[in-house]
Structure 1
Amino acid sequence: MANVMKPSASPLTTAEIAALALSLAHLGSGPQANTARSGLRHAFEHMQLDDEVIATTLSTLTDPMPAPVADRARTIANAITSQLVVRLHYRDVSGRITVRDVDPVTCMVHRDYWYLVGMCRLRRGIRAFRFDRIVATEPTFLPAQPHTADHFLPFQGRRRAMRNERVA
């Protein structure tokens, strides 16, 4: 039986890539996880992305997370799937730890870091929380407000603005 490759009707969205990569990132390093990561790398080879994006994010997307971070990532992924609020113990850049209830929307990689993107109930606004600054996660039974992931990716606006400046 021959392998047949059909051209994709539409490329993966940023949210789809993030969901696939997050699922792989917290799988560990077993044979299935390694094969799945290889598949994601292969998918990237066939996408039209600029070299800078590939160079700075591909290894972050496809490398296993350290075990404690992977445990927190599982809690976050479950909250996204279940559409439940997740409670974060978050250390900001100054070292202060706050406890925040977040309506999780999606996860993404920007440069070398994983982020949870969601509506922070404490700050009453969209926030991106770096995984390596999340000290602990707690599942809750509070229903999260539904949000569309494509409108919640904080770095997209900057990229679009930069492209428009280059064109002008």
Structure 2
Amino acid sequence: MAPPESLPSEPTAPQLTSPELAPPELTHFRDGLPRMVDVTDKAATTRTATAEGWVRLPPEARAALEAGTNPKGDPLTVARLAGLSGSKRTADLITLCHPIPVTGAEVRVTLEDAGVRIVATVKTTAPTGVEMEALTAVTVAALNVYDMLKAASKAIEITGVRLLTKTGGKSGEYQAAATGD
């Protein structure tokens, strides 16, 4: 019986000889391979993030929501709960995201002229940010609105998911520019 072939070594990024051609320092890749950034030595600080997103409703989906005739129940209440749950499960969904303690979360889901607006604020005291948790809360809530209303229309659109504000951490404060919605 022939001896087993040796396993190939892990690939590495190509080495560049000129400093002008060197790629930027990547935080989530080392030697061309993905990695989780080590935050062991970073101080835990209080951080908050608020994100928003929209679910645009065609007339038939909006009518079912407003009339309370949706056969699955109340999409807005389900979306609130789903967003809260999503904020706590972010590290399970975003590959290189650190699991952090979500110390507070609020998800507001309102029916407005432009559609269903979802705003999530998530808080933590941790060595890394909470923006992904807020964005995940909004996205999961929006997906649940779609799921709850898809019998009324498949033309529902999820749009405008974005970070509105963040506080804390090395990069400091962020405030998104206002939009027309």
Q: TM-score, normalised by structure 2?
A: 0.26
- The structure whose Rg is larger is 2
Query: Whose helix fraction is larger, Structure 1's or Structure 2's?
Result: 1
Q: TM-score, normalised by structure 1?
A: 0.28
Structure number with higher relative contact order (C-alpha < 8 Å, ≥ 6 residues apart): 2
